[in-house]
């Protein structure tokens, strides 16, 4: 049995992954943005170990989520599922002054990775849209560019893959991988999305707990339990290091060195 923490798991892909993990006999800790969503999550998965509560768009609450998670003990795997979509019509800043899509989709996984007791496996959710992402950090906060919600989302998902690969390179004792679940019929994807929802869920769980040799790797990108080529820039150590430095400057949190 593995202990797994799934962020953004009060609904959607995160909750479905948590439910599948529990059916397979694993212990799951959920995450919800607020107390109301936490109650919904607990009702949807009454056998969970617990629900960590905190808004991952806010720096202070993200730190609190890490503290709550650590109080429960060390996890075998953490699935960074939390994310917001590509329909943000206007550039918005969090109270901390960080562009909202970047704050939730990139900065929160970075901070949680740095602060949660190091698990054996890390899983980061990306998207096929990452291939249209901007392969640099010239303006990650959209302070100069004309806003595009779809582009901001694509950029954030490219950065998520780069983050997964940076962690794999920095922490050789941790299996750190990214995946695209496909365009699946969730609230974000819409009811007519053509991809298979169950396959997207199963890939998260497979990377988190499977002993299959294909899953027992690090620094790889997957789609439906098969390796897939990511945007080539995500494997560039220079981009990875620039991303880590940018996240550290925004959060005041530095990724710890390898043990």
Whether residue 39 lies inside any domain: the answer is yes
Which band of pLDDT confidence, cut at 50, 70 and 90, is reported for residue 183? low
Contacts 24+ apart (CB under 8 A), 53-61: 56/7, 56/8, 56/82, 56/103, 56/104, 56/108, 56/112, 57/94, 57/100, 57/103, 57/104, 57/108, 58/94, 58/95, 58/96, 59/94, 59/96, 59/98, 59/111, 59/251
Domain span holding position 56 = 3-251
Q: Let me know if 221 is a catalytic residue.
A: no
Q: CATH number of the domain that 236 lies in?
A: 3.40.50.720
Mean pLDDT of 206-235: 97
* Within-domain flag for 25: yes
pLDDT at 88: 82
Q: In 6-20, which positions are buried (b, 16+ CB within 10 angstroms) versus exposed (e)?
A: bbbbbebbbbbbbbb
Angle CA 256–84–171, to nearest 5: 20
Hey, how many other C-beta atoms are within 10 angstroms of the C-beta on 118?
17
Residue 208 pLDDT level (bands cut at 50, 70, 90): very high
Q: Is residue 90 part of a domain?
A: yes
As a whole number, mean pLDDT of residues 223-252 equals 97
Q: How many domains does the chain have?
A: 1
In a domain, 256, yes or no: no
Phi first, then psi, for residue 232 (nearest 5°) are -60, -30
| Per-residue tokens: 182 | 């496909």
Residue whose C-alpha is closest to residue 116's, from 63, 166, 167: 63
pLDDT digits (tens, 9 = 90+) for 69-104: 999 999 999 999 999 987 788 999 999 999 999 999
pLDDT tens digit string along 41-64? 999 999 999 999 999 999 999 999
230 within some domain? yes
Residue 240 burial (CB count, 10 A): 23
Confirm whether 155 is domain-assigned.
yes
Mean residue pLDDT across the chain: 94
Q: Which helix (H) or strand (E) holds 4?
A: strand 3-6
d(CA 17, CA 19): 5
CA 65 distance to own-chain centroid: 14
Helix (H, G, I), strand (E, B) or coil at 84: coil
DSSP state of 99: B
Q: Is 24 a catalytic residue?
A: no
Within a domain: residue 258? no
From 110, 124, 157, 223, the catalytic residue: 157
Average pLDDT over residues 150-164: 97
192 assigned to some structural domain = yes
Q: What does each C-alpha distance from 125 to 36, 72, 156, 178, 194 come to in angstroms?
A: 24, 23, 11, 6, 18
Active-site residue (options: 110, 124, 153, 159): 153
Q: What is the pLDDT of residues 98-144, one digit of tens each?
A: 999 999 999 999 999 999 999 999 999 999 999 999 999 999 999 99
């Amino acid at each position: 049995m593995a202990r797994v923490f799934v962020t953004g798991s009060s609904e959607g892909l995160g909750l479905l992954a948590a439910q599948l993990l529990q059916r397979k006999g694993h212990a799951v800790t959920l995450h919800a943005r607020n107390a109301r969503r936490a109650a919904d999550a607990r009702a949807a998965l009454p056998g969970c170990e617990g629900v960590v509560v905190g808004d991952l768009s806010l720096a202070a609450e993200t730190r609190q989520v890490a503290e709550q998670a650590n109080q429960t003990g060390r996890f075998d795997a953490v699935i960074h599922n939390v994310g917001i979509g590509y329909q943000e019509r206007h550039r918005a800043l969090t109270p901390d002054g960080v562009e909202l899509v970047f704050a939730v989709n990139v900065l929160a996984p970075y901070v949680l990775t740095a602060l949660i007791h190091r698990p054996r496996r890390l899983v980061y959710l990306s998207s096929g849209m990452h291939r249209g992402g901007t392969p640099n950090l010239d303006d990650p906060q959209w302070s100069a560019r004309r806003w595009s919600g779809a582009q901001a989302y694509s950029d954030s998902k490219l950065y998520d893959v780069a983050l997964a690969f940076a962690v794999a390179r920095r922490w050789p004792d941790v299996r750190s991988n990214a995946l695209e679940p496909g365009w699946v019929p969730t609230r974000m994807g819409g009811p007519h999305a053509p991809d298979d929802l169950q396959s997207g869920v199963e890939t998260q769980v497979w990377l988190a707990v499977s002993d299959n040799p294909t899953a027992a790797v690090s620094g790889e990108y997957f789609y439906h339990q098969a390796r897939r080529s990511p945007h080539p820039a995500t494997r560039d150590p220079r981009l990875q290091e620039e991303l880590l430095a940018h996240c550290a400057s925004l959060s005041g949190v530095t990724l710890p060195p390898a043990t």
